[in-house]
Amino acid sequence: MVGRQYDCLTNPLGAVRFTFDKAVSSGSDPASLDRKDWGVADIFRDFLFDNDGLSQVPILTPSTLHVIQPNSLVRFRGMIQDMLGNEFYVGAYKTWNTNKFSDVAQFPMGPSPDMRVWERRLIYCVPVPGQNTWADSASEGVISTYATSANREKRQRDTCFVSDEMDIQDSSNETPNSPCAKKMVS
């Protein structure tokens, strides 16, 4: 069995490029891939949650900034301070080939290089203000427990019982057949 051609932790862009190349080689038009998922989410979901890779992803803080390699996958705990709007960028393009110093083109020449402009939303995040170091270390455990406790059902409602010691001054709002109706004590 051949291993992965990319590393999701140290080279996440390699995973994105690999899945894009795979989608294009299968016949998908790059123009149709704008705002679509061509398999990237499945690869990272598998790495982070199914293979327990989330614990390997470093948290980006001022103290870990010098340790983390450029272009690697990180976690950041923060708040969205501003939504900066949309940004247009070159989402997909064909590579250029040169014919300089050659008589014949090595690759077939198309009419022009094909380029696709895509759009993405930008947000400006800031660290959580006033967060203590003990909260940083505790947040790692919260992520795993939140995922398991989110699927549990709510606790059952306590049964309603009447106390004989309760005094009620207005009996006009009383529902006579209600099991939780409060009775006036004399």
The full set of domain ranges for the chain reads: 12-149
More confident residue, 29 or 80: 80
Question: Among residues of the chain, what percentage have pLDDT more than 90?
Answer: 0
- Is-contact 141 157, C-beta < 8 A? no
Q: What is the pLDDT of residue 76?
A: 85
pLDDT tier for residue 51 given thresholds of 50, 70 and 90 = confident
- Kindly report the pTM of this predicted structure: 0.53
Computed over every residue of the chain, the mean pLDDT equals 68
More confident residue, 168 or 31: 31
More confident residue, 157 or 73: 73
Would you call 149 helix, strand, or coil by DSSP?
A: helix
Arithmetic mean of pLDDT, 146-151: 38
- Is-contact 91 108, C-beta < 8 A? no
DSSP per-residue letters across 113-146: --EEEEEEEEEEEEEPTT--HHHHHHHHHHHHHH
* Residue of 127, 133, 9 lying closest to 77 (CA atoms): 127
Kindly report the length of the chain: 186
Would you call 92 helix, strand, or coil by DSSP?
A: strand
pLDDT tens column, 64-114? 888 888 888 888 888 888 888 888 877 776 765 555 455 566 666 555 567
More confident residue, 1 or 6: 6
* Residue of 29, 8, 34, 25 lying closest to 120 (CA atoms): 34
Q: What is the pLDDT of residue 144?
A: 39
Q: What is the pLDDT of residue 175?
A: 53
Given a cut of 60, is residue 28 above it in pLDDT? yes
Q: What is the pLDDT of residue 55?
A: 83
Burial of 3 (0-12, 13-18, 19+ CB in 10 A): exposed
Q: What span, in angstroms and rounded, lies between the C-alpha atoms of 71 and 103?
A: 40
